[in-house]
Chains A and B, each alone.
Chain A
C-alpha cells in the first residue's frame, strides 16, 4: 500500500490503467464487430476495392468508366473533393480579401454593406445555403428541352452549362513545357528586377519582360503551328445535350456555397489582421505622403497578410471538410461515392475507414503546407 503513495508508481499505474481500458474496449468492439459481421455474412478486408464498380459518377475530374474498379471510383471521388475545395478556397480568398478591405473602408455605407454580407453568411447554416443555391439554379433555369443558347453551341439549362471543349491532337507535351518554362522564366525575371530595384532604386520592376517570358514561348509555339487541337461541339438533342464540357448545377451550387462561406470567414480574418497593425504604420505612411489606397496596398496589407496565415489555415481545413456536404445536393465527392460503395457492397467499416483516413491525411498535408508557408512569411526576428 505504501507503494501507492509513491508519485512515480502512481503515474505509471494511471497510464497503465488508461491504456488498458482503451485496449480492452477496442478488443471488445473488435470481437463484437467480427461476430456481427460473420452473422450477416459480410466478408472483411479491402479485397472489394478490386471489384468492378458498375455505377455511374455524374462528374469526373479524372477519367472513369462504369467498368473501372471500386478503388478507382473512390479516387474519382477524392479528385472531385480536391477540385471543388481548391477552387472554393481560391475564389473565397479573393472575395474575402475584397470584402475585408471593404469592411475597413472609411465609407460608412460600404462598411455597413460588407458587414451585412458577412453577417448574412455567418449566421445561416452552410447546408441551408447549398440547398437554396441549388433550388434557385433548378427553378430559375429552363429545362433541357428549352435550353438557352447563349452563344453558338453554348447551352444553359437546369442540367448545367455546356461549352465546346477541345482536345489536343498534337503538341500537348510541348505546350505544357513551354508554359512551365515561361512561368519559371517570369519568376526569375521578377526576382532579379526586384533585387536590382532594391540595390539601385531604378523604378523598373520587370513586369513587361516577365509577361513576355510568361506567354512568349507558348504563343510562339502556337503561331508556328506546333499545336493542333480538335473541338468537340455540343449538340442539342431532344432530351439531352451531348458532347462538350458540362458544368453541372450541383457543382456550381456547391462551389458558390463553399466560396461564399470561405469569403465571409476570410473577410473577418482580414479585418482582424488589418486592425492588428499598429496605427503608427498608417500615420508614418501618411506622413510620407502616400495615398490611403497605396498605404493599404504597400504598407498595411503585406504586414497584415503575415498575421493572417495561421487563421487562414483553419479556414482552408474547414472548407476542405465542409466540401463533404456535397452529398446533400448530389455532387459526387468522396463521401458520396463512398456512400454509393457502402450501399452496393455492404463494406461499411472499410469504406468509412478509407474516407476518414483520406480526410485525415489531406488535413495533415494542408496543415503541414500552411505551417511551412507560415514559417517562410513570418517575421524573422533579428
Chain B
C-alpha cells in the first residue's frame, strides 16, 4: 500500500505558480498590476514630495506658511505639548518616566511565559502605585499635580489601560451572571450588557459628565477624569462580558459536571476549573478589544478631556501656528495611533499562533 501514498501532499494550485505569472499571467492581471504600480508611484511621489522635497525643516511659522510641503518645525515646537498637554513644563520628566515605565513593564508582561500571579501582584502593589505617584505627586518631594493638568499620551494610555484592567473582573462577573442558573441575576446581567452595548460610548460619556453630578449627594464631587474613566470601565465591562461568555461556552459541559461530581462548590469550580480554561481561549480577542478601546478613548475629547488627540488639536489651534500645520498635526497623531495599534495587532496575531501551537 505504501507506493499508493503521495510523496508530496496536494496543495492549492496557487502555491505552485511563480510570482511573475501571478503578476502578469493574464491580460486582466497585467492590467491590475500596471494600475497598482501606477497608484504606488503616484502615492510615493506625493508622499516624498510633501514630506522631504517641498518640506520646511527649520524656521518659523512664517517659513511654513510660504512653503507648500510638510512643516517639520511645528513638530519640534509642539512635540512636548502634544505628548504631555498642560502638565507643568519643568515636571514633564515625570509623565515621561511614567510612560516609559508603563511601556517597559507592559512589554515585559507581554511574554506569555512570564504570566503568573506574581506578575499580577507586582502590577497591583508596585507598578500602579508608582505610576500614580509619578503622575500625581504630593509625596516623596514631588510637587502635587492635579489630574486636571494631566493630558496627552499618558492620559490616553491611562484611560484605556485602567479602563480595561478594572473592567476585567466586572466583565467576568457579568459573564458568569449571564450564564447563571438564577433567573433574576441572569436578567439583571443581560439587561446591563445589552443596554450598554446598544448605545454609543459617547452617550455613556455624556451620562457620566452631565448626570453623575446629579446622582451624587450634595457636597460630593468627582473629578471629570474619574467620571470619564467610570464610563469607559462600564462600557468595557459589557464588551468583555460578551467575549468571556464566548470562552465560557467553549468549555465542555463535562468539566462542570466533573467538578460537581467531586463535590466542589460553584465558585471553586469556576475559579479552579472553568475560568482558567475559558480565559485562556479569549486572550487574543481581548487584545483586539484593547486596540479598539485604545482608539475609542479619543472620544473623551468630545467631553473636553485633554487626551492625545485633543492636545494635538489644541496645538493646531495655537495662534502662532493656526491653519499652517493642520495636516502635519493629524498625520503625526495618526502615526502614533497607528504604531501602537499595529504593534498590538501583531501581538494579538502572535498570541493566536502561540495558542494554536502550544495548546489543544
On A, residues with C-beta under 8 Å from B are: 11, 14-16, 18-19, 22, 29, 32-33, 35-37, 39, 105-110, 113, 119-120, 122-129, 131-132, 135-136, 139, 279, 282, 286, 293, 321-322, 324-325, 327-328, 335, 339, 342, 348-349, 352, 355-356, 359-360, 363-364
Q: A135 and B195: CB pair below 8 A?
A: no
Q: Which interface class (under 10, 10 to 19, 20 to 34, 35 or more) fits B?
A: 35 or more
Contacts of A136 in B (CB 8 A): 327
Binds A, one of B56-64, B138-146, B200-208: B200-208
The answer to the question of B19 belonging to the interface, with a C-beta cut-off of 8 Å to chain A, is yes
Shortest B335–chain A CB gap in Å is 9
Beyond the given pairs A107-B22, A122-B341, A139-B326, 16 more chain A to chain B contacts, judged by CB atoms under 8 angstroms and listed by A's residue number, are A18-B182, A36-B216, A37-B214, A106-B22, A108-B19, A108-B23, A123-B338, A123-B341, A127-B301, A127-B302, A128-B309, A132-B334, A135-B326, A136-B327, A352-B203, A359-B198
The residue among A105, A124, A322, A356 with the most chain B CB atoms within 10 A of its own CB is A124
Q: A32 and B217: CB pair below 8 A?
A: yes
CA distance A129 to B330 in the complex (A): 8
Given contacts A109-B23, A125-B309, A349-B211, contact A132 B14 (CB under 8 A): no
Q: A15 and B211: CB pair below 8 A?
A: no
CA distance A335 to B32 in the complex (A): 43
Q: A124 and B326: CB pair below 8 A?
A: no
Pick the contact of B36 from A110, A119, A321 — CB < 8 Å?
A110
Shortest B186–chain A CB gap in Å is 9
Q: Which of B1-39 contact A (CB under 8 A)?
A: 12-14, 17, 19, 22-23, 25, 28-29, 32-33, 36-37, 39
Pick the contact of A335 from B22, B202, B296, B326 — CB < 8 Å?
B202
Shortest B6–chain A CB gap in Å is 16
Shortest B15–chain A CB gap in Å is 11
CA distance A109 to B35 in the complex (A): 10
Binary per-residue interface labels of chain B (316-360) against chain A in the complex, 1 for a CB within 8 Å, 0 otherwise: 000000010011001101100110011001000000000000000
On B, residues with C-beta under 8 Å from A are: 12-14, 17, 19, 22-23, 25, 28-29, 32-33, 36-37, 39-40, 181-185, 188, 195, 198-203, 206-207, 210-211, 213-218, 291, 295-296, 298-299, 301-302, 309, 313, 323, 326-327, 330-331, 333-334, 337-338, 341-342, 345
Pick the contact of A109 from B36, B218, B302 — CB < 8 Å?
B36
Q: A327's closest neighbor in chain B, by CB?
A: B302
Contacts of A120 in B (CB 8 A): 338
Can you list 8 A-B contacts (CB < 8 A)? A32-B215, A32-B217, A33-B215, A113-B36, A125-B337, A136-B327, A325-B302, A352-B206
Contacts of B326 in A (CB 8 A): 135, 139
The residue among B39, B183, B185 with the most chain A CB atoms within 10 A of its own CB is B185
CA distance A119 to B199 in the complex (A): 26
Q: A123 and B29: CB pair below 8 A?
A: no
